[in-house]
Amino acid sequence: MDKRLLLHICCAPDACVPIPDLLAEGWEVHGFFYGSNIHPLDEYARRLEAVRFISSHNAIPCSVPDYSPEEWLALVHGLEHEPEGGRRCERCFRIQLEAAAREAVRLGCEYMSTTLTISPHKNVALINEIGGEVSRSHGLKWEARIWRKNNGFLRSVRLSRELGLYRQNYCGCVFSVRKDA
Ligand code: SF4
């Protein structure tokens, strides 16, 4: 198999299992880290550094667009007070996957997937539904995975500890910053 897949990477700990698993299956993997949802800048920089590390550790390329938090805030305008897991997060997944799809088309990838489904806190059915819609609208094929299955999340916790990866304690945006963090 020699199929090109763009893997949307939400963060390095969530990517440390999907990347090697996809490579072992024979996929040609190209990473993509959106990042403009992350607040503040120094948190973005820490997460980006970890994403660059996990990409080079697995010898895959990774695209990183410019950091534009104002653009992300404008796109979620009106949804600021939504609870975590609500409509703002649905919009956020779509924003990230739309950006990933544009990059997949630019790079000539045929397939797309995301690391988001390794999280035990996220609605994986919704993520795969949005991924499928976004992929189809860009002429791509969605590789629907639920990475948290088969102890995926536990493997990611163990592996990210072994690799010394930075593990954040909140999802990412200004609205998800823990008050006690
Ligand atoms: S909590 Fe996470 S998924 Fe939801 S809007 Fe914020 S960064 Fe995006």
CATH number, position 167: 3.40.50.620
Percent of the chain with pLDDT over 90: 96
Q: Quick check: is 92 in a domain?
A: yes
pLDDT for position 113: 98
**Cα(116) to centroid(ligand 1), Å:** 11
Tell me which of 173, 174, 177 to substitute to probe ligand 1's pocket, judged by most ligand atoms within 8 Å of the beta carbon: 173
Contact 175, 88 (CB under 8 A): yes
Q: Is residue 181's pLDDT more than 90?
A: no
Q: Is residue 180's pLDDT more than 70?
A: no
Q: Quick check: is 134 in a domain?
A: yes
* Host domain of residue 76: 4-176
Higher pLDDT, 2 or 134: 134
Q: Is residue 116 in contact with ligand 1, taking CB distance under 6 Å?
A: no
Q: Quick check: is 35 in a domain?
A: yes
Q: Quick check: is 164 in a domain?
A: yes
Q: Quick check: is 116 in a domain?
A: yes
Q: Is residue 88 in contact with ligand 1, taking CB distance under 6 Å?
A: yes
Residue 107 CB contacts under 8 Å (≥ 6 apart), including other chains: 4, 6, 30, 63
Task: Name the average pLDDT for the chain.
Answer: 96
Per-residue pLDDT tens over the stretch 139-160 = 999 999 999 999 999 999 999 9
Looking at residues 39-66, what average pLDDT do you find?
98
Q: Quick check: is 181 in a domain?
A: no
Q: What is the distance between the alpha carbons of residues 73 and 82, in angstroms, rounded to a whole number?
A: 13
Task: Enter the pTM of the model.
Answer: 0.97
Per-residue pLDDT tens over the stretch 65-85 = 999 999 999 999 999 999 999
- How many domains, the chain? 1
**Strand stretches in 25-161, DSSP E:** 28-32, 62-63, 111-114, 141-142
Looking at residues 18-37, what average pLDDT do you find?
98
Residue 144 CB contacts under 8 Å (≥ 6 apart), including other chains: 113, 128, 131, 132
Q: Quick one: tokens of 78? A: 């009106």
pLDDT for position 178: 72
Residue 123 CB contacts under 8 Å (≥ 6 apart), including other chains: 85
Q: Is residue 179's pLDDT more than 70?
A: no
Residue 115 burial (CB count, 10 A): 25
**Cα(13) to centroid(ligand 1), Å:** 16
Q: Relative to the CA of 76, which ligand 1 atom is closest?
A: 5
- CA 79 from centroid of its chain's CA atoms: 21
Q: Is residue 35 in contact with ligand 1, taking CB distance under 6 Å?
A: no
Looking at residues 18-42, what average pLDDT do you find?
98
Per-residue pLDDT tens over the stretch 80-123 = 999 999 999 999 999 999 999 999 999 999 999 999 999 998 99
Tell me which of 8, 10, 33, 37 to substitute to probe ligand 1's pocket, judged by most ligand atoms within 8 Å of the beta carbon: 37
